[in-house]
Structure 1
Amino acid sequence: MTRIVILGAGYTGIAAAIRVAVRTRRHGGRVTLVNPSARFTERLRLHQTAAGQRLADHSIGDVLAGTGAEFVRGTVTGLDADRREVALGDGRVLGYDRLVYALGTVTDTSVPGVAAHAFTYDSHDQAVRLAGRLAELESGTLVVAGGGLTGIESVTELAEAHPGLHVVLLTRDVPGSMMGPGARAHLDRALDRLRIEVRTGAEIIKVLPGGVELAGGELVHADATLWTAGTTGLPLAGDAGLTVDGRGRIVVDEALRSVSHPEVYAVGDAAAVKQPFGVLHGTCQSGIPSALHAATALAAELRGRRPRPFRFGYVHQPVSLGREDAVIQFTRPDDSPRRWRLTGRAAVAYKEIVSSSPMATYRLLKRGLVPVALFRLTAGGR
């Protein structure tokens, strides 16, 4: 019996657990999935939760039903890579023969005051707390820090849901800087329509109880501050002696195995995955394909076969701009923008399809099937 432990039950962890359980149950695999919450959180939609919308509630145990994988609820507090053991907060210790590390990343709180005074999206509960705070405010100012895709989706969603608030987006670069000029122009019109104040070139040096302080000493008042300006890996992997990069992500080989501890696979945001065009940046677009590849590679390894290398290319940058608008920037495999884009209602429909609940994908995985779109992504983004 090969003990396979998977840490983290986000999009990637659940996909890996189902895939590896299906692929190894005839070859002696015993799969255990560990997560601190029994609820599956759709992290891509936490901005909707923060806006007060109620999303479908899925139990991790129900999602795994029929796969043979066991769910263990617990918080991982330690990893001993030499003894191949995982420590949980309640004192339990889980031994493993193979480990899939799918703990993702957390908000980078290195700027003073972020941890104490800003809201983040590190959990469903934190998004619910932000929703409660905004519901208390009939007027006032909301500051969103960070002009990446998460910041853009959040600032537009929250401005639409709370038109009485003065909403400010603070960002170092222009919003949507990764997009082409046409997509950026549509984004700018949406920000104007929602009366969002955009301040570029803003460097936040401290978050305060009632606002933020910028370099140069300017204070920007805020009744609530949402921090979306960067993520980092958990210290768990580095503390265990695994080779990590500057952001705390596990450095992996072409089969997604740790370069220092090949019995450990790392997937999604937690892995520093090299491709011909560079290291992947963490998105769900690459996360689930990496989870499926790692599960397939692990199963192949247990059968004495050589795992195939992981190949991936980006396809698009889908961004919601509230419930009634969106912009889709289609990309080359290296994530640079193509000329093509979708905007408006067509983009809303497209975004809802590609970012819909992964439950349909999980049901296919239980049957041993892989959706064609994901197969094409892992084959190079064609």
Structure 2
Amino acid sequence: MKVVIIGGGFAGLSAHKVHDSLLIDEKDYFTLTHKLVDVFRSGNPDVAKIPYQGKAMKSRVRNVDFRRKKVITDSGSFDYDKLLIACGYSQKVIPNTYKIENVEDALNLHQKVLGAKSVTILGGGLLGVELASVSREMGKEVYLVEGSDRLLNFMTRESSDFALRELREMGVHVILKEKVEGIEKNKVKTNNMEIESDVVVSSIGFKGPSLIQELGLTNTNGRMVVDEYLRSVDYDDVFGAGDSATMKKFVPMSAQVAVQAGNVAMRNMIGASEEPFQYKQYAVIAKVNGKYFGDLMGRFVKGRLAEIAEKMGITKTVMLVK
């Protein structure tokens, strides 16, 4: 059976571990997306890059002929019996802001913030909270704007309160329950105030990759819609996994979820199983003000236990790639 995987992220490599397929990716390295904040901190791209070591063919996918079952790339066309689309996420471009979608974005933001006195970050999720902490560590005046009534609103209340307390202790101006109504150069307008800063960073607006819509696949926010077996609702021989896919029931964008999805999708594709996909979010760990914290199996943890959980996640990722 000829199996082609588009995308060498968490889901794609997890699937590749199950079945030795042709894996196509635009890069020749795996991106540790949760380490992009460390690239921003250090200016060193290598902290978030792991070479594929020959497991992937570097090429850009231009199109897919679903009728003839061909993936068309810059390096030629490749036939498939089953196709897995697992090409990650993208971030909406918001005018007058900087995004942090990939290594290049993180390096660019590092340079911009180095020369700035003040930074405004939009969004109080994991990325926004960690960016705020690092920006403050770099000696910048930092504003963090969140529309809801708490940070990390998908995590436990204890994690939300911990992040808020630590950021304010550092001197970050955390602004909650403020809706952004406009962004001009160096100025953010909310429903109650105007914030002036040298750099405005967006940590929101994550969606599926542009390829999904370009291929004409049924999608929600750019993520291809799949059934409970991770099979495309459009084609029986096409599957989706990771951040580029979702079911009618929302599937979170998460490395842990992507790894699980890649494994299940490939097993279903090659007939090793017929397993409905059910994900588990084991741990969500962050680092603020030099302190690890987060949710482990739905319970708040901090300190050494949180750090161990974070390190174990990285170790498993490296094993996945190698």
- Give the alignment's TM-score, normalised by structure 2: 0.90
The corresponding residue for 1:95 is 79
Alpha carbons of structure 1 residues 82 and 205: separation in structure 2 relative to 1, 3 Å: farther
The corresponding residue for 2:288 is 321
The corresponding residue for 2:233 is 259
Shift of 1:215: 4.3
Shift of 1:272: 0.9
Query: What runs of 5+ residues in structure 1 fail to find an aligned partner?
Result: 22-30, 65-70, 332-337, 364-382
Query: What CA RMSD, in Å, does the superposition of the two structures yield over aligned residues?
Result: 2.3
Shift of 1:94: 3.0
The corresponding residue for 2:37 is 47
Per-residue CA deviations over 1:245-279 (Å, capped at 9, x if unaligned) read: 2x1211112221102212111001111135xxx42
Q: Secondary structure at the match of 1:212?
A: strand
Alignment of 1:285-364 (within 5 A): 285-300=256-271, 307-322=274-289, 324-331=290-297, 338=298, 340-356=299-315, 358-363=317-322
Question: Do residues 191 (structure 1) and 176 (structure 2) align?
Answer: no
Per-residue CA deviations over 1:126-168 (Å, capped at 9, x if unaligned) read: 111111222233xx111111111221122223322x0x20011
Shift of 1:362: 4.0
Question: Do residues 208 (structure 1) and 207 (structure 2) align?
Answer: no
- AA matched with 1:329: D
- AA matched with 1:211: K
The corresponding residue for 2:53 is 61
CA distance in 2, matches of 1:80, 1:219: 49
Alpha carbons of structure 1 residues 293 and 328: separation in structure 2 relative to 1, 3 Å: same
The corresponding residue for 1:146 is 123
Shift of 1:320: 1.9
CA distance in 1, matches of 2:190, 2:315: 37
The corresponding residue for 1:380 is none
Number of residue pairs aligned between Structure 1 and Structure 2: 319
Shift of 1:356: 4.1
Alpha carbons of structure 1 residues 132 and 357: separation in structure 2 relative to 1, 3 Å: farther
CA distance in 2, matches of 1:179, 1:243: 30
Alignment of 1:228-239 (within 5 A): 228-239=203-214
CA distance in 2, matches of 1:356, 1:53: 22
CA distance in 1, matches of 2:197, 2:268: 48
Shift of 1:8: 1.2
Alpha carbons of structure 1 residues 120 and 281: separation in structure 2 relative to 1, 3 Å: same
Contact 2:52 2:321 in 1 (8 A): no
Per-residue CA deviations over 1:330-367 (Å, capped at 9, x if unaligned) read: 45xxxxxx4x311134322322222446122344xxxx
CA distance in 1, matches of 2:225, 2:217: 8
Alignment of 1:156-175 (within 5 A): 156-160=133-137, 162=138, 164-173=139-148, 174-175=150-151
CA distance in 2, matches of 1:315, 1:158: 28
Q: Secondary structure at the match of 1:342?
A: strand
CA distance in 2, matches of 1:142, 1:51: 14
CA distance in 2, matches of 1:281, 1:146: 17
Q: What is the identity percentage for the equivalent residue pairs of Structure 1 and Structure 2? A: 21
Contact 2:207 2:222 in 1 (8 A): yes
CA distance in 2, matches of 1:194, 1:238: 42
Contact 1:172 1:201 in 2 (8 A): yes
The corresponding residue for 1:134 is 113
Q: Equivalent of 2:66, from 81, 97, 104?
A: 81
Query: What runs of 5+ residues in structure 2 fail to find an aligned partner?
Result: none
- AA matched with 2:211: L
The corresponding residue for 2:158 is 182
CA distance in 1, matches of 2:279, 2:129: 25
Q: Secondary structure at the match of 2:259?
A: helix
Q: Secondary structure at the match of 1:311?
A: coil
Alignment of 1:260-279 (within 5 A): 260-273=234-247, 278-279=249-250
In terms of mean alpha carbon deviation, does 235-244 or 257-266 score higher? 235-244
Q: Secondary structure at the match of 1:199?
A: strand
Alpha carbons of structure 1 residues 248 and 72: separation in structure 2 relative to 1, 3 Å: same
Contact 1:144 1:170 in 2 (8 A): yes
CA distance in 2, matches of 1:209, 1:92: 43
Contact 1:252 1:271 in 2 (8 A): yes
CA distance in 1, matches of 2:120, 2:14: 35
Q: Secondary structure at the match of 1:358?
A: helix
CA distance in 1, matches of 2:132, 2:81: 44
CA distance in 2, matches of 1:281, 1:78: 26
